[in-house]
Protein backbone atom coordinates (compact mmCIF):
# COMPACT_ATOMS: atom_id res chain seq x y z
CA UNK A 1 0.00 0.00 0.00
CA UNK A 2 1.20 3.56 -0.64
CA UNK A 3 2.69 5.41 2.31
CA UNK A 4 0.38 8.44 2.13
CA UNK A 5 -3.35 9.07 2.07
CA UNK A 6 -2.84 12.21 -0.03
CA UNK A 7 -3.03 11.78 -3.80
CA UNK A 8 -0.64 14.71 -4.16
CA UNK A 9 2.08 12.79 -2.30
CA UNK A 10 1.82 9.59 -4.34
CA UNK A 11 4.26 8.93 -7.13
CA UNK A 12 2.89 8.30 -10.62
CA UNK A 13 3.73 4.61 -10.27
CA UNK A 14 1.92 4.36 -6.92
CA UNK A 15 -1.14 6.11 -8.35
CA UNK A 16 -1.32 3.82 -11.38
CA UNK A 17 -1.17 0.78 -9.12
CA UNK A 18 -3.76 2.20 -6.72
CA UNK A 19 -6.13 3.03 -9.58
CA UNK A 20 -6.33 -0.64 -10.57
CA UNK A 21 -7.77 -1.36 -7.10
CA UNK A 22 -10.52 1.24 -7.55
CA UNK A 23 -10.07 3.04 -4.22
CA UNK A 24 -12.37 5.64 -2.75
CA UNK A 25 -11.33 9.22 -3.54
CA UNK A 26 -12.34 11.97 -1.11
CA UNK A 27 -12.77 15.47 -2.54
CA UNK A 28 -12.52 18.01 0.32
CA UNK A 29 -13.93 21.47 -0.26
CA UNK A 30 -14.32 24.49 1.97
CA UNK A 31 -14.20 28.26 1.87
CA UNK A 32 -11.95 31.22 2.60
CA UNK A 33 -14.14 33.79 4.30
CA UNK A 34 -15.25 35.35 7.58
CA UNK A 35 -15.69 32.64 10.23
CA UNK A 36 -16.01 35.12 13.08
CA UNK A 37 -13.34 37.50 14.44
CA UNK A 38 -11.66 34.71 16.41
CA UNK A 39 -11.48 31.84 13.91
CA UNK A 40 -9.21 31.25 10.89
CA UNK A 41 -10.77 32.35 7.61
CA UNK A 42 -9.94 29.04 5.95
CA UNK A 43 -12.53 26.50 7.03
CA UNK A 44 -11.12 24.38 4.23
CA UNK A 45 -8.32 23.53 6.68
CA UNK A 46 -10.78 21.57 8.81
CA UNK A 47 -12.38 19.91 5.78
CA UNK A 48 -8.96 18.76 4.54
CA UNK A 49 -7.86 17.43 7.94
CA UNK A 50 -11.13 15.61 8.58
CA UNK A 51 -10.89 14.09 5.10
CA UNK A 52 -7.40 12.82 5.94
CA UNK A 53 -8.67 11.27 9.17
CA UNK A 54 -11.55 9.65 7.28
CA UNK A 55 -9.11 8.18 4.74
CA UNK A 56 -6.95 6.85 7.57
CA UNK A 57 -9.88 5.19 9.35
CA UNK A 58 -11.53 3.86 6.20
CA UNK A 59 -8.28 2.32 5.01
CA UNK A 60 -7.65 0.77 8.42
CA UNK A 61 -11.16 -0.69 8.19
CA UNK A 62 -10.27 -2.30 4.86
CA UNK A 63 -11.56 0.35 2.43
CA UNK A 64 -8.61 1.84 0.53
CA UNK A 65 -9.21 5.60 0.53
CA UNK A 66 -7.26 8.68 -0.59
CA UNK A 67 -7.69 12.44 -0.31
CA UNK A 68 -7.47 14.74 -3.31
CA UNK A 69 -6.08 18.29 -2.87
CA UNK A 70 -8.60 20.50 -1.12
CA UNK A 71 -10.52 23.16 -3.03
CA UNK A 72 -9.98 26.12 -0.68
CA UNK A 73 -12.23 28.69 -2.34
CA UNK A 74 -15.95 28.27 -1.76
CA UNK A 75 -18.92 29.19 -3.86
CA UNK A 76 -19.72 32.89 -3.61
CA UNK A 77 -22.67 33.77 -1.40
CA UNK A 78 -22.91 36.62 1.12
CA UNK A 79 -19.36 36.82 2.53
CA UNK A 80 -17.81 38.98 -0.18
CA UNK A 81 -17.45 41.83 2.31
CA UNK A 82 -14.44 40.14 3.96
CA UNK A 83 -11.10 41.80 3.08
CA UNK A 84 -8.72 39.15 1.79
CA UNK A 85 -11.47 36.59 1.35
CA UNK A 86 -11.56 34.75 -1.99
CA UNK A 87 -14.65 33.05 -3.38
CA UNK A 88 -15.54 31.60 -6.77
CA UNK A 89 -18.63 32.53 -8.72
CA UNK A 90 -21.10 29.67 -8.66
CA UNK A 91 -20.60 29.15 -12.40
CA UNK A 92 -16.82 29.01 -11.94
CA UNK A 93 -17.10 26.53 -9.07
CA UNK A 94 -19.44 24.37 -11.13
CA UNK A 95 -16.87 24.24 -13.93
CA UNK A 96 -14.15 23.29 -11.41
CA UNK A 97 -16.26 20.51 -9.88
CA UNK A 98 -17.29 19.20 -13.30
CA UNK A 99 -13.65 19.08 -14.39
CA UNK A 100 -12.52 17.31 -11.21
CA UNK A 101 -15.15 14.64 -11.70
CA UNK A 102 -14.39 14.29 -15.40
CA UNK A 103 -10.69 13.70 -14.70
CA UNK A 104 -11.41 10.98 -12.14
CA UNK A 105 -14.24 9.26 -13.96
CA UNK A 106 -12.39 8.94 -17.27
CA UNK A 107 -9.96 6.58 -15.54
CA UNK A 108 -12.63 4.50 -13.85
CA UNK A 109 -12.21 6.16 -10.46
CA UNK A 110 -15.92 6.17 -9.74
CA UNK A 111 -15.88 5.73 -5.97
CA UNK A 112 -15.91 9.39 -4.97
CA UNK A 113 -17.14 11.23 -1.87
CA UNK A 114 -17.24 15.00 -1.38
CA UNK A 115 -16.20 16.18 2.08
CA UNK A 116 -17.72 19.65 2.12
CA UNK A 117 -17.22 22.47 4.62
CA UNK A 118 -19.20 25.31 3.05
CA UNK A 119 -22.93 25.87 2.50
CA UNK A 120 -22.23 27.84 -0.67
CA UNK A 121 -20.82 24.69 -2.29
CA UNK A 122 -23.88 22.51 -1.73
CA UNK A 123 -25.91 23.52 -4.77
CA UNK A 124 -23.01 23.08 -7.17
CA UNK A 125 -22.05 19.69 -5.75
CA UNK A 126 -25.66 18.49 -5.96
CA UNK A 127 -26.11 19.65 -9.55
CA UNK A 128 -22.79 18.25 -10.73
CA UNK A 129 -23.27 14.86 -9.08
CA UNK A 130 -26.87 14.61 -10.25
CA UNK A 131 -25.63 15.07 -13.83
CA UNK A 132 -23.22 12.17 -13.33
CA UNK A 133 -26.02 10.02 -11.92
CA UNK A 134 -28.41 10.76 -14.77
CA UNK A 135 -25.80 10.21 -17.47
CA UNK A 136 -23.67 7.41 -16.01
CA UNK A 137 -25.69 5.84 -13.15
CA UNK A 138 -22.88 6.55 -10.69
CA UNK A 139 -23.79 7.84 -7.23
CA UNK A 140 -21.36 10.36 -5.74
CA UNK A 141 -22.44 11.32 -2.21
CA UNK A 142 -21.48 14.47 -0.33
CA UNK A 143 -20.89 14.77 3.40
CA UNK A 144 -21.59 18.37 4.43
CA UNK A 145 -19.62 18.49 7.65
CA UNK A 146 -21.31 21.40 9.39
CA UNK A 147 -24.87 20.30 8.63
CA UNK A 148 -24.09 16.90 10.13
CA UNK A 149 -22.24 18.62 12.97
CA UNK A 150 -25.30 20.66 13.92
CA UNK A 151 -27.29 17.46 14.14
CA UNK A 152 -24.68 15.80 16.36
CA UNK A 153 -24.37 18.62 18.89
CA UNK A 154 -27.50 17.88 20.98
CA UNK A 155 -26.24 14.36 21.62
CA UNK A 156 -22.84 15.71 22.71
CA UNK A 157 -23.86 18.78 24.70
CA UNK A 158 -27.51 18.26 25.45
CA UNK A 159 -30.32 20.03 23.64
CA UNK A 160 -30.28 23.28 25.64
CA UNK A 161 -26.52 23.92 25.52
CA UNK A 162 -26.35 22.92 21.86
CA UNK A 163 -29.04 25.47 21.02
CA UNK A 164 -27.01 28.20 22.72
CA UNK A 165 -23.66 27.26 21.16
CA UNK A 166 -24.76 26.51 17.58
CA UNK A 167 -24.34 29.04 14.80
CA UNK A 168 -22.01 30.58 12.28
CA UNK A 169 -18.72 31.41 13.95
CA UNK A 170 -19.77 29.18 16.86
CA UNK A 171 -20.41 25.44 17.03
CA UNK A 172 -19.66 23.22 15.29
CA UNK A 173 -16.80 24.94 13.43
CA UNK A 174 -15.14 26.80 16.31
CA UNK A 175 -15.01 23.70 18.52
CA UNK A 176 -13.59 21.64 15.65
CA UNK A 177 -10.86 24.22 15.09
CA UNK A 178 -10.13 24.35 18.83
CA UNK A 179 -9.51 20.60 18.64
CA UNK A 180 -7.65 20.37 15.31
CA UNK A 181 -5.83 23.71 15.19
CA UNK A 182 -5.98 25.32 18.67
CA UNK A 183 -3.17 27.73 17.83
CA UNK A 184 -5.33 29.31 15.10
CA UNK A 185 -8.09 30.45 17.47
CA UNK A 186 -7.57 34.05 18.63
CA UNK A 187 -9.39 34.02 21.94
CA UNK A 188 -8.77 37.74 22.51
CA UNK A 189 -11.16 38.46 19.61
CA UNK A 190 -13.84 35.95 20.59
CA UNK A 191 -17.18 37.72 21.05
CA UNK A 192 -20.25 36.66 22.93
CA UNK A 193 -23.55 35.97 21.16
CA UNK A 194 -24.57 38.52 18.55
CA UNK A 195 -27.47 40.82 19.42
CA UNK A 196 -29.57 41.14 16.24
CA UNK A 197 -29.83 44.67 14.94
CA UNK A 198 -31.94 46.40 12.33
CA UNK A 199 -31.21 46.96 8.65
CA UNK A 200 -33.45 48.68 6.09
CA UNK A 201 -35.80 49.45 8.95
CA UNK A 202 -36.38 45.79 9.81
CA UNK A 203 -35.09 43.30 12.37
CA UNK A 204 -32.24 41.08 11.17
CA UNK A 205 -33.19 37.38 11.34
CA UNK A 206 -30.22 35.95 9.42
CA UNK A 207 -27.40 36.82 7.06
CA UNK A 208 -29.82 37.59 4.22
CA UNK A 209 -33.19 37.65 5.96
CA UNK A 210 -35.26 40.25 7.80
CA UNK A 211 -38.40 39.96 9.89
CA UNK A 212 -41.55 41.69 8.72
CA UNK A 213 -45.13 41.84 9.93
CA UNK A 214 -46.35 39.31 12.46
CA UNK A 215 -43.99 36.34 12.15
CA UNK A 216 -43.04 37.05 8.54
CA UNK A 217 -39.58 36.83 6.99
CA UNK A 218 -38.21 38.17 3.74
CA UNK A 219 -34.87 37.59 2.04
CA UNK A 220 -32.86 40.59 0.91
CA UNK A 221 -29.82 40.96 -1.39
CA UNK A 222 -27.50 42.16 1.36
CA UNK A 223 -24.11 40.75 2.26
CA UNK A 224 -23.30 39.51 5.72
CA UNK A 225 -21.33 42.64 6.47
CA UNK A 226 -24.59 44.61 6.26
CA UNK A 227 -26.59 42.34 8.56
CA UNK A 228 -24.12 40.50 10.80
CA UNK A 229 -20.95 42.64 10.87
CA UNK A 230 -18.83 40.35 13.08
CA UNK A 231 -19.69 37.13 11.25
CA UNK A 232 -21.16 35.45 14.34
CA UNK A 233 -24.78 34.44 14.16
CA UNK A 234 -27.08 32.18 16.10
CA UNK A 235 -24.88 31.12 18.99
CA UNK A 236 -22.27 31.94 21.62
CA UNK A 237 -18.65 31.17 20.62
CA UNK A 238 -17.52 31.24 24.25
CA UNK A 239 -19.44 27.97 24.80
CA UNK A 240 -17.27 26.16 22.24
CA UNK A 241 -14.47 23.88 23.42
CA UNK A 242 -11.76 21.54 22.22
CA UNK A 243 -13.55 18.70 24.01
CA UNK A 244 -16.69 19.30 21.97
CA UNK A 245 -14.53 19.50 18.87
CA UNK A 246 -12.87 16.17 19.63
CA UNK A 247 -16.26 14.48 20.04
CA UNK A 248 -17.52 16.04 16.81
CA UNK A 249 -14.46 15.03 14.82
CA UNK A 250 -14.61 11.47 16.11
CA UNK A 251 -18.22 11.14 15.01
CA UNK A 252 -17.70 12.90 11.67
CA UNK A 253 -14.75 10.65 10.87
CA UNK A 254 -16.79 7.55 11.71
CA UNK A 255 -19.64 8.74 9.49
CA UNK A 256 -17.22 9.57 6.69
CA UNK A 257 -15.54 6.17 6.88
CA UNK A 258 -18.92 4.44 6.81
CA UNK A 259 -19.85 6.52 3.76
CA UNK A 260 -16.68 5.37 2.00
CA UNK A 261 -17.48 1.76 2.83
CA UNK A 262 -21.06 2.15 1.61
CA UNK A 263 -19.89 3.60 -1.71
CA UNK A 264 -17.79 0.47 -2.23
CA UNK A 265 -20.62 -1.87 -1.23
CA UNK A 266 -23.10 -0.16 -3.52
CA UNK A 267 -20.99 0.17 -6.68
CA UNK A 268 -20.39 -2.46 -9.32
CA UNK A 269 -16.64 -3.29 -9.24
CA UNK A 270 -16.46 -3.56 -13.04
CA UNK A 271 -18.63 -0.69 -14.29
CA UNK A 272 -18.66 1.62 -11.28
CA UNK A 273 -22.41 2.00 -11.65
CA UNK A 274 -24.54 2.16 -8.54
CA UNK A 275 -26.23 -0.93 -7.16
CA UNK A 276 -29.64 0.49 -6.23
- The pTM of the full predicted model, rounded to 2 decimals, is 0.97
Find the mean pLDDT for residues 32-59: 97
ω before 35 within 30° of 0 (cis)? no
Q: Give pLDDT tens digits for 73-108.
A: 999 999 999 999 999 999 999 999 999 999 999 999
Instruction: Give the class (CATH, top level) of 7-166+240-265.
Output: alpha beta
Q: Give pLDDT tens digits for 187-213.
A: 999 999 989 999 999 999 999 999 999
Q: Residue 122 — pLDDT band, cuts 50, 70, 90?
A: very high
Q: Give pLDDT tens digits for 213-239.
A: 999 999 999 999 999 999 999 999 999
Q: Which of these, 256, 266, 247, lies nearest to 28 by C-alpha position?
A: 256
CA angle, residues 250, 254, 256, in degrees to nearest 5: 115
Amino acid sequence: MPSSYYLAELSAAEMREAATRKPVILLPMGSFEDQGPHAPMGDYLSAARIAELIAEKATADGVETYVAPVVPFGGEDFFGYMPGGIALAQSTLRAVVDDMLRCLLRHGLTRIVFINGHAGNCGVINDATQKVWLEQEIVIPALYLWRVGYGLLPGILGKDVAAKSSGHGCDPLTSVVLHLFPHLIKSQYMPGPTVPGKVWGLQVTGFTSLGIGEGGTITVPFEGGDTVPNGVWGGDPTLCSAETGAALVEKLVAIGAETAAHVVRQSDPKTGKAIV
